[in-house]
Structure 1
Amino acid sequence: MTTTPTAAGSDGFVDPRGDLRWGTTSALLADAAHRLGDAEAIVDGDVRIGYAALDAAVTAAARSFLASGLNRGDRVAVWSPNTAQWIIAALGLQRAGGVLIPLNTRFQAQEAAFILDKSKARILCVIGEFLGRDYPASLEDAAGGPEGGRPYAGLPDLEQVVVLSDGGPGRHTSWDDFLESGRTVTEEQVRARAAEIGPDDLSDMLFTSGTTGNPKGAMCTHAQTLRAYAVWAAVVGLREGDRYLIVNPFFHGFGYKAGWLASLIVGATSLPARTLDVPQVLKVVREEKVTVLPGTPTLYQTMLEHPDFTAEGVSGLRLAVTGATDVPPAVVHRIKEELGFSHIVAGYGLTESCAIVSMCRYDDPLEIVTSTAGRPLPGLEVVTVDAEGEPVPIGAEGEILVRGYTVMKGYLDEEAETAATVDADGWLHTGDLGTLDADGRLRITGRIKDMFIVGGFNAYPAEIERLLSVHPAVAQCAVIGIPDERMGEVGAAFVVPRRDAALDPDELISWARQNMANYKVPRQVHVVAELPLNASGKIVKNDLRARLARDGGA
């Protein structure tokens, strides 16, 4: 890349520079507590926590992390559905100087164990039982039982497991006992540690997969996160006093950064949703007078069709935040009119760019929202380039490149992968294809990467292929994304069985459900004698797509 494009932000937007105002998430919370006092910060069922009380609870958690020996830069994982405790644990570990590692609740234990091992997490904060699954016990099945004072033999860096739920923690530490242990640390010691943490310290590491098949930790600092989501909140019109029902999971950048963290930035109330349960969503929207509700068009349509829906029950809704998908304008008009939203916005982001690149503005017309991913955040540079890295004309398709304050500091311990993703001039090569129009609005048109998106979750064929290859009857496999009416895309696997092995497609799908997150599980398995290869021995996936279109994969 030799071009120097015009930086985004010429729309007159004023950059709030949250990174300069607060510096760290800890300072952000302290400032919010001072300004907002008893105003509700979190409503989680019967639990109601004001800003000042949240600040005190986070300090108590930070005392416990310090008592556990957490040093500046140590990693702490959180594996739990959306709860108030998730937020307290995350802010507490960051106040103590730790780096947050969110774990996907859909992960099977071996997937979580890989990230815990890769990140060298010292502490794991985990839900006990959720949706009928014992998370600590499942991890023991994957990583072995206690050994040498460690909770799991296969995770030598993990020193402590803290169970967030009220259920019996067994041999692990309960959240109450964890907090009790913090009494040996003073608040002054917490303040001293917090003062050591600066804007350039890592705040979190969100793991994403890719062409290698193994998850990689995208490193992000406090300054990046605070600046990006102070800007994001202003662009979409999130404001003080909003009541934000966060249905997006906290392990994702949307639920975490564009969710509860953005709410703290503006002084809104976060209402965590553990699961995407439409009757419960309608109940909370009605009873808690929710004003902000993110979601897919499918969620909104399902709400409208549900027997519990009433116009009066959703009368407080003001702002919808949805993904950048090609949705017929008539559908969005119906969502806006019947759910009563004043504003609907959409955007585009990826983990390597602090989960955000572009957003519609809150006053954009619906025709813009339904056909574009908005304009880049002010202060970011976005260009589209051809295969040689040269800029393409306005309206022409090219790979989307991003440069600016949101671009990750790199992948953890992956220098070659980092260099392949962020070039020497600081451009993040997204692997996504798109166009830029004369007004700077971005349209996503496709992907160079093999990735496909299942119900909003990125699924990477290389990772799924690596997981499938563990099955004793699988010799070779290739996974592609195929269209699906409900989920957008799902996986289809082409599998060559091992010699003399019988391979049943339904059995392999069932096995996959036990060994990988459900959104990664192929919905179709096609047993084939061989995979199409090019001259260099690489699988030609376009041939598989053509075969599937022609004869269903046989």
Structure 2
Amino acid sequence: MPATASTQPTSEKRSHDTTILSSGSDWLRTRMLAWPDETLYEGVASVATDRPDRAAVVFRGTTWSYANLVAESRALAHGLADLGVSSGDVVAVWLGNRPEWTVCQLATSFLGAAMVAVNTRYRTHELEYMLSDSAASVLLTEASLLGRNYHGMLETAVPEIATQSPDSFAPDSIPSLEAVVSLDSDTELPALRGYESVLETGRDRLEDEQRDDGRNSLEPVSDPTAPAAVFYTSGTTSDPKGCLQSSRSLLNHSAHVAEHLGITDEDVGVTTLPFCGIWGYNTLFSHLASGATLVTQTHFDPETTLELVDEYDATSLTGLGVMFERLLEYESFARSRVETIERGVVGFISKGYDETLFERIEEAFGFPVVQPYGLSEANSQIFVGDPADAMERRKRVGGPPIHPAIDATIVDPETRAELPTGEEGELALRGYLLADGYLGKPEATAAAFDESGWFYTGDLATVDDDGYVYYRSRLDDALRTRGFLVAPREIGAAVEDHPGVRSCEVVGAPHPRHGDVPVAFVIAADDKGNNVSAAALESFLDDRVADYKVPAAFEFVDEFPTTEGPNGEKVQKALLRGQVQDRFTE
């Protein structure tokens, strides 16, 4: 067990009381919190009380005020309650970035339920796994997004939606699922309930409460420690794990990020980061927690982004480095089109980017670029560069902790003994920002979270004399591709499901646009080797895994390089990676 390690910089501007109390598994994570006793719903509702007419979320030209957002979420909460959702239940949301996504999160928080954020890129198998693993009772979705047929994939995963009615819906395929709500009607899927009809039911219940003088009213559940959202991460195994995040963690961390980045109620942010991911989620709620406005899109498009920045006088822009690079290369880009931008967070997750890209972005946009570090188990933007620091320092992933109550230390990955400052090791975190373990996986939780409140991230990192934490790489060689963390074993297992494949090993290769893209080394099955090809495997994986998990290349080999270890032969992945390091360089 590591000793408590303070990572707060020594400069006066970050000199705070960092005392945090420890009592075994009852680790106190409420120190120095803005909202120690409020849920996500209550926190945003309190902002709406002060700024009811302030624009909260803007989507496709429609503006939702804080009052609109809270009123709609309250109505949806009543509609979901009519479907049987109550405290402790799980509601899955499979939507792109849009106000209804936010409304559902606030509605589930109102009810004391947890919302599972389903990745918008997921395919049938992944959706089926997540619904089953989370035991979701309700799914909120839409017909399609960016060419992905959500209704079609849903019918494959839950065929009963095409044969049963809403009132008799009881699928054997996903026994926990009691209702599916869609923004779009579909006469071929009779079990679907319309989002508007659920909302209308909720509004009717609210009117009944008012006529009844509130005697039978449905009041918001006030338990900030209960799970409010579940984020799935591949982690270090082939099975994704659901990270249970509470309102206390999510709401307070979002407020701290806003303070660190200087976001106020006068700011307007623009982002395409998916809300289903912890970084996009944190970007959304850091704006809502501070009374700011967030303009969002379902996907990135250079011209649309530039138009939105101009139309709404955006003051911040957050996204991946590749997004900023595409803006720079866009034919109508000019400094005058982004001159209102004062700040932003840029995610450089790829070894494939030239270091000069950082400098080009900063020069072209005119604001100090900072980089974030985060993960689903402990929120996003935990360590973020200080805009006042020199560029050479800000080029590194990470930085100072965004709040003094965040505790961090570097430990030996095997012994978990604390390492000296500056030495590389596994990053361990402790504080209010941690998830409360993995949903339904006590063994995995016990392996990652100890009784003293430390979470062992599985990331290689360093901490310097000023308390700045810098990410180095994943200890388990997981890939960071297109903004997502992916376990190579998960991809390899999917490839091995093909009858023509005997074995598969997946490694990362630097790509100038997408980060570390997966490359699969494949040993064909002896009797079916002539029936497997790169094209066949791509087609096989297309409806089984998200597109960013499909290998960028397939290498067919007779055997893998191995070495003898204490527990038998081990594949030498370093040699495999060495074979593809220059595959995608320009």
The question of a shared fold, defined as TM-score above 0.5 by the shorter chain, is answered with: yes
Q: Deviations over 1:164-189 (max 9, x none)?
A: 24777842111111112224523757
Structure 1 pair 197–374 and aligned structure 2 pair: CA distance change class (3 A): same
In 1: Cα distance, 2:582 partner to 2:50 partner: 63
Paired with 1:99 and 1:12, the residues of 2 have a C-alpha distance of 36
1:539 is the counterpart of 2:571: yes
Matching residue within 479, 504, 511 for 1:452: 479
Verify: 1:270 aligned to 2:294, yes or no: yes
Q: Distance in 2 between matches of 1:260 and 1:192?
A: 30
Q: Cα gap change, 1:31/1:439 in structure 2, threshold over 3 Å: closer, same or farther? A: same
Q: Matched residues in 1 for 2:104 and 2:226: separation?
A: 18
Q: 1:232 aligns with which of 257, 279, 282?
A: 257
- Looking at structure 2, the residues matched to 312 and 190 of structure 1 have their Cα atoms a distance apart, in angstroms, of 57
The whole-number CA distance in structure 2 between the counterparts of 1:190 and 1:463 is 52
Give the superposition deviation at 1:551.
11
Q: Residue 398 of structure 2: SS of its match in structure 1? A: coil
Matched, 1:181 2:198: no
Tell me how large the CA RMSD over aligned residues is.
2.5
Decide whether aligned partners of structure 1 residues 407 and 516 sit closer, same or farther in structure 2, where only a CA change above 3 A counts: same
Q: Work out which structure has the larger RCO, using CA pairs closer than 8 Å and 6 or more positions apart in sequence.
A: 2
Once the two structures are TM-superposed, the CA of residue 163 in structure 1 deviates from its matched residue by 0.8
Give the Å deviation of 1:9: 6.6
Equivalent position of 1:96 in the other structure? 111
Q: How does 1:377-396 map to 2 (within 5 A)?
A: 377=402, 378-386=404-412, 387-396=414-423
Gap change, CA 1:24 and 1:194, over 3 Å in 2: farther
Contact 1:491 1:522 in 2 (8 A): yes
Matched residue of 2:53: which SS? coil
- Residue 3 (str. 1) matches residue 13 (str. 2): no
Aligned with residue 155 of structure 1, among 174, 187, 191? 174
Distance change in 2, residues 1:332/1:480 (3 Å): closer
How far does the alpha carbon of each residue in 1:46-80 deviate from its partner, in whole angstroms, 9 at most, with x for none?
A: 31111112211111111111111101011011111
Q: Deviations over 1:418-465 (max 9, x none)?
A: 111112322211111121111111222222112011121111112112
User: Are residues 1:353 and 2:385 paired?
Assistant: no
The code of the aligned residue for 1:539 comes to V
Residues 162 and 13 (structure 1 numbering): CA distance in 2 closer, same or farther, change over 3 Å?
farther
Give the drift of 1:144.
Answer: 2.6
Equivalent residue, structure 1, for 2:272: 247
Q: CA deviation at 1:111?
A: 0.4
After TM superposition, the structure 1 stretch with the greater mean CA deviation from structure 2, 322-331 or 41-50, is 322-331
Partner of 1:431: 458
- The offset of 1:106, in angstroms, is 0.7
Give the conservation status (yes or no) of the 8 Å contact 2:159–2:173.
yes
- What is the percentage of aligned positions where both structures have the same residue? 30
In structure 2, the gaps of 5 or more residues are 18-30
- Which residue pairs with 2:549 in the alignment? 520
Check whether the contact 2:96–2:274 (CA below 8 A) recurs between aligned residues. yes
Which whole-Å CA distance do the structure 2 matches of 1:239 and 1:427 have between them? 32
Which residue of the other structure, out of 208, 212, 215, is the alignment partner of 2:240? 215
C-alpha spacing 1:546/1:33, structure 2 compared with 1 (3 Å) = closer
Q: 1:55 to 1:365 in 2, by over 3 A?
A: same
Q: Secondary structure at the match of 2:369?
A: strand
Aligned counterparts, 1:250-329, within 5 A? 250-257=275-282, 259-323=283-347
Q: Which stretch of structure 1 is more off in the superposition, 525-534 or 316-325? A: 525-534
- Please point out which of 517, 526, 529 is paired with 1:499: 526
- Letter aligned with residue 150 of structure 1: F
Contact 1:294 1:322 in 2 (8 A): yes
Aligned to 2:23: none
Partner of 1:19: 35
> Does the 8 Å CA contact 1:95/1:190 hold for their aligned counterparts?
no
CA contact (8 A) 2:478 2:487 kept: yes
- Alpha-carbon distance in structure 2 between the residues aligned to 1:16 and 1:299: 35
Unaligned residue ranges in structure 1 (runs of 5+): none
Tell me if structure 1 keeps the 8 A contact 2:7–2:468. Answer: no
The answer (yes or no) to whether the contact 1:210–1:463 under 8 Å persists in 2 is: no
Q: 1:332 aligns with which of 326, 337, 358?
A: 358
d(CA) in 1 for partners of 2:135 and 2:93?
Answer: 13
Q: Which residue of 2 aligns with 1:479?
A: 506
Moved more, 247-256 or 363-372: 363-372
Report the Cα distance in structure 2 between the residues aligned to 1:452 and 1:140, rounded to whole angstroms: 31
Matched residue, 1:79: 94
Q: CA deviation at 1:118?
A: 0.4
8 A contact 2:237–2:487 mirrored in 1: no
Residues 46 and 16 of structure 1: is their aligned pair in 2 closer, same or farther, counting only changes over 3 Å? farther
Q: State the Cα distance separating 1:18 from its structure 2 match.
A: 2.7
Per-residue CA distance 1:278-299 (angstroms, 9 max, x = gap): 1111111111211111022332
Judge conservation of contact 1:162–1:173 (CA < 8 Å) in 2.
Answer: yes
Q: Is the 8 A contact 1:124 1:161 kept in 2?
A: yes
- Does structure 2 conserve the Cα–Cα contact (< 8 Å) formed by 1:110 and 1:139? no
Q: Deviations over 1:299-332 (max 9, x none)?
A: 2232122122232221211111112557777543
1:178-235 deviation digits (Å, cap 9, x = unpaired) = 1122245237579965443311111111011133301110111111112211111111
Q: Distance in 1 between matches of 2:248 and 2:39?
A: 7
Classify the secondary structure of the residue corresponding to 1:266: coil
Deviations 1:71-92 (A, max 9, x none): 1011011111101111112211
1:267 Cα offset (Å)? 0.6
Q: Which of the numbers 382, 401, 406 marks the counterpart of 2:433? A: 406
Verify: 1:125 aligned to 2:140, yes or no.
yes
AA of the residue aligned to 1:544: L
Contact 1:293–1:321 (8 Å) recurs in 2:
yes
User: Structure 1 residues 328, 526: CA separation in 2 closer, same or farther (over 3 Å shift)?
Assistant: closer
Deviations 1:324-378 (A, max 9, x none): 557777543432332233x432220111112343122343333321124111232
Change (3 A) 1:369 1:51: same
Deviation per CA, 1:486-529: give whole Å up to 9, x if none: 21211111122223112112211232222210111111111222
SS in 2 for 1:197: coil
Aligned residues: 549
Letter of the structure 2 residue corresponding to residue 25 of structure 1: L
CA distance in 2, matches of 1:549, 1:61: 50
Residues 522-550 of structure 1 deviation map (CA, whole Å, 9 limit, x = unaligned) = 11111222334444244332342345569
SS of structure 2 residue aligned to 1:500? coil
- Does residue 1:111 correspond to 2:126, yes or no? yes
Contact 1:19/1:224, CA 8 A, preserved across alignment? no
Question: Which of the residues 475, 495, 506 maps onto 1:468?
Answer: 495
- 1:113, CA displacement in angstroms? 1.1
